[in-house]
Amino acid sequence: MNVLTLVRKEIGHRKLGFVLSVVAAAVAAATFLVAMALLRGTDLETGRLLDEKVQATESEMAKLENEIRISMKGLGFNLFIFPEGQDLGEVYEQGYASKTMPEEYVMRLARSNVVTVNHLLPTRTMVEPWFW
């Protein structure tokens, strides 16, 4: 007697148990495959939704950055650059600097890589004393 004959006789003797075990194994394998397919579909859908949200967020951020840029342009930075040798006491007393600088200094500052400068305006202005 060989092994295949013994297996056939055992299957013939326990038909219901064999059929139920084959069905259980088939259901387990099918359940696993269906679960993997559903998870893969969910991953694809989640990736698509995330890509849409990232694009929407980047679009909104670009819009907000532009609005901030426009607002900051209106506000500006109050940075005063005085000529060398200018007495600050005189500036606070008179409200403006009595010495001037050549326009070439402004052009050199605008072309420099030290800082990004968007608007340079030469002005003579009344300076509010800082101690008020």
Q: Specify the pLDDT at position 81.
A: 79
Chain segment 86-114, per-residue pLDDT in tens: 888 888 788 778 888 888 887 887 787 76
SS (H, E, C) the chain: CCHHHHHHHHHHHCHHHHHHHHHHHHHHHHHHHHHHHHHHHHHHHHHHHHHHHHHHHHHHHHHHHHHHHHHHHHHCCCCCCCCCCCCHHHHHHHCCCCCCCCHHHHHHHHHCCCCCCCCCCCCCCCCCCCCC
Q: Specify the pLDDT at position 56.
A: 95
pLDDT band at residue 132 under the 50/70/90 scheme = very low
Q: Specify the pLDDT at position 39.
A: 96
For the segment 77-89, the average pLDDT, to the nearest whole number, is 78
- pLDDT at 127 > cutoff 60: no
Chain segment 32-66, per-residue pLDDT in tens: 999 999 999 999 999 999 999 999 999 999 999 88
What is the pTM assigned to this prediction?
0.41
The residue extents of the domains of the chain are 1-76, 77-132
- pLDDT at 21 > cutoff 90: yes
pLDDT band at residue 117 under the 50/70/90 scheme = low
Q: Specify the pLDDT at position 92.
A: 79
